[in-house]
Structure 1
Amino acid sequence: MNVLDSTSTRPYLIRALYEWCTDNGFTPYVAVTVDDSVQVPREYVKNNEIVLNISFDATSSLKLGNDFIEFKARFAGSAREIMVPISHVIAIYARENGQGMAFPMVATSSPVPVSAAEPGTDVPDGTPVTAVTPVHPHSPGDGPEKIMQLVPESSAEAQDDDGSEPPDPPKSPRARPSLKRVK
């Protein structure tokens, strides 16, 4: 059996990282690219992506299969059925420390127009998935999947697309710390 005939490693890595998160007391989050094949509440989708909390406490009937992630969850108090194709999962990570893994995005033929969530709604904000070096979309004939690891936002190795270092952020003036005595 060669690499092109074997099954994707993505569902196995997702299950492994989910188990790692739960074993260490972390909250597993998945970032998902949304199109017509993804069943999620559209009002929580922003820029054709959604971040979902898939912890034991946040879901019921969670199934991490080879083709789909399926579960039931509450959004703004109402129960919703969620079904995400494994190929649309672009990252799984721990909310508390951002450790996890990012996967290449799948090329979609027609993005679904979605509205941004309204202010004040209960959107799972979590830790944003840190931008990583862009990866070309993967299709079944492109060869083995490329896997990326999430990097902290403060990483000194972060570079722009042209390979140059990003400019340093403006430094704030350092004031001497002071203590206030409260009686």
Structure 2
Amino acid sequence: MSKTHKSRRPYLIQAIYDWAVDNGHTPHILVAADYPGVAVPRQYVQEGRITLNLSPMAVQSMHLDDDPLWFSARFSGRPFEVVIPSGAVLAIFARENGEGLVFGEVEPPEGETDAETGADPVVSQDEPPEPPKPKGRGHLRVVK
């Protein structure tokens, strides 16, 4: 019998968020907006992704200690309840210096495994693989 473990992603998100705020930085997250359960204002999504400012001044009623992450924020003056499953978070970083943590890809939704779906969690067997994106120098750094 295999034992399933809780994802460590929510813990890592909380840790980098705390580090950024404690050091006076502005924490941001990069989210895969097409991930199941993500609720973000779609007009701000670009190429299936959205970057959100998580600073205490930018959000209200934030809950990072649970999955999904959720908070209230204003977009162009309008309130919006944001919901983000931790598996949809691609990176969390400090705006000022780009330091943080890059997860690289989405995490399969809880309870979904490759054996159950018969597919790779990132690319469906029905869709042709995407060509590799141009490799330019990014503003994020891997923190070890």
Normalising by structure 2, report the TM-score.
0.72
1:130 aligns with 2:123: no
| Offset at residue 16 of structure 1 (A) | 0.4
Q: What is the percentage of aligned positions where both structures have the same residue?
A: 43
The one-letter code sitting in structure 2 at the alignment partner of 1:75 is F
Contact 1:91–1:102 (Cα < 8 Å) also in 2: yes
Contact 1:12–1:66 (Cα < 8 Å) also in 2: no
* Corresponding residue for residue 26 of structure 2: 27
Contact 2:32–2:89 (Cα < 8 Å) also in 1: yes
* Corresponding residue for residue 37 of structure 1: 37
| Offset at residue 93 of structure 1 (A) | 0.1
The one-letter code sitting in structure 2 at the alignment partner of 1:98 is G
Q: What is the CA–CA distance in structure 2 between the aligned matches of 1:54 and 1:74, rounded to whole Å?
A: 12
Q: 1:58 to 1:131 in 2, by over 3 A?
A: closer
* Corresponding residue for residue 14 of structure 1: 13
| Offset at residue 7 of structure 1 (A) | 1.5
* Corresponding residue for residue 149 of structure 1: 142
Q: What is the CA–CA distance in structure 2 between the aligned matches of 1:108 and 1:80, rounded to whole Å?
A: 30
Q: 1:131 to 1:26 in 2, by over 3 A?
A: closer
**Matched pairs, number:** 114
* Corresponding residue for residue 50 of structure 1: 50
Spell out, residue by residue over 1:83-122, the C-alpha distance to the aligned partner (whole angstroms, 9 max, x if none): 011000000000000000000312276xxxxxxxxxxxxx
Q: Map of 1:18-167 to 2, 5 A cutoff?
A: 18-35=17-34, 36-106=36-106, 107=122, 130=138, 149=142
Contact 2:28–2:93 (Cα < 8 Å) also in 1: yes
The one-letter code sitting in structure 1 at the alignment partner of 2:49 is E
User: Which structure's CA Rg is the greater one?
Assistant: 1
The one-letter code sitting in structure 2 at the alignment partner of 1:130 is G
More helix by share: 2
DSSP-derived class of the 2:69 partner = strand
Aligned Cα RMSD in Å? 2.3
* Corresponding residue for residue 180 of structure 1: none
* Runs of 4+ displaced beyond 6 Å: none
